[in-house]
Structure 1
């Protein structure tokens, strides 16, 4: 959890608080306010005046922020869905459920992967320690894992039979990791990742 602070000044305490809130970009109910100086109007509101000074402190829960961000993005996409958060140490899994889930998954999980990437950025913006975020929808990740495992086994057999390299389509690092893991236990082939993100892909090499 990261703690953010901001100091605000203004002609009144309320104005000083509003100025500090703008800097923090958070809602007033999330902050703890400390009044450093209530200020002074001075003669005729000018001579001898002193601005009000406040200090705002907010403790931001990165996992709550990540969940809220994902809910807002889903709503902006015009999809009605529920998001369940499961915390496990420094890992956060956000499970999405609803009627129009296909729109959130996209072709081969591309939309879901993009959402996961954005949510992970938000979570780690507010965290002192790195948080791993997994965004799933109706157990798509499990089904995709099974698909990748079957694909890896099938293409490894092809590479061994033809004695030629097999180049897979680009995929995110966590999906490449599944391919590498499955084929590390298959004799007669090895795997390497090649290319630059987002076009990094796996090559299956017959030995």
Structure 2
């Protein structure tokens, strides 16, 4: 974290001097007025204004720093890579034992993602969407759910009976709904309360 103290006749002048030296814009820093100064009656009695300018850490720096600290207690050899995408901050965990970090049906991974999102967005003016992955689990899980949705839909058409799936996280239920939304013979809906909310696949 870069911190710089500057003196000048006014707060604005002192802040501007700090911004120029740090090479950042005003919205990238936090300003603390240490001493408001005193213009004085005579020039030799005047006292300059003093400010402390701190560069705000970027969301990716906060995310990686938080995860590295947390993972130290779970897997000391795990590493976090930042892969920024449009409107998404994607983080990849590299570990020789990724299964522990993923957990059953991604439960541990989702918990880590949730905590990281809370920490990153605590002081952000605009919401930053966090996507945490390990061993390409997200894509593999999405493929699995898409195949499951199509398979169950075929069974519903064959038996003409509705089928209720196991409890799923909201993002997983969304995959089921999206996969089957164009099927003219099938309708899906979510029932129950979290964390036991399920998807029911039925004939229209």
Task: Give the TM bin, normalised by the shorter chain.
Answer: 0.7 to 0.9
Alignment of 1:165-176 (within 5 A): 165-176=162-173
1:56 CA drift (Å): 6.6
Residue 87 (structure 2) pairs with residue 90 (structure 1):
yes
| TM-score for both structures, normalised by structure 2 | 0.72
Residue of structure 1 in register with 2:97 after alignment? 100
Does the C-alpha gap of structure 1 residues 179 and 79 become closer, same or farther in structure 2, counting only changes over 3 Å?
farther
Measure, in 1, the Cα distance between the counterparts of 2:195 and 2:64: 25
1:193 Cα shift? 1.4
Q: Is residue 170–residue 199 contact of structure 1 (8 Å, CA) maintained in 2?
A: yes
Answering whether residue 127 of structure 2 is matched by residue 130 of structure 1, we say: yes
CA deviation profile, 1:105-141 (whole Å, cap 9, x unmatched): 1111111111111111112112111111110001111
Match of 2:174 among 168, 174, 177: 177
RMSD: 2.3
- Helix, strand or coil: the match of 1:60? coil
1:35 maps to: 34
**1:88 Cα deviation (Å)?**
2.1
Provide the TM-score with structure 1 as the length reference: 0.71
The 5 Å alignment of 1:8-87 reads: 34-36=33-35, 57=54, 59-87=56-84
Task: List alignment gaps of at least 5 residues for structure 2.
Answer: 1-28, 38-49
Tell me the matched-pair count.
164
Structure 1: runs of 5 or more not aligned = 1-29, 39-52
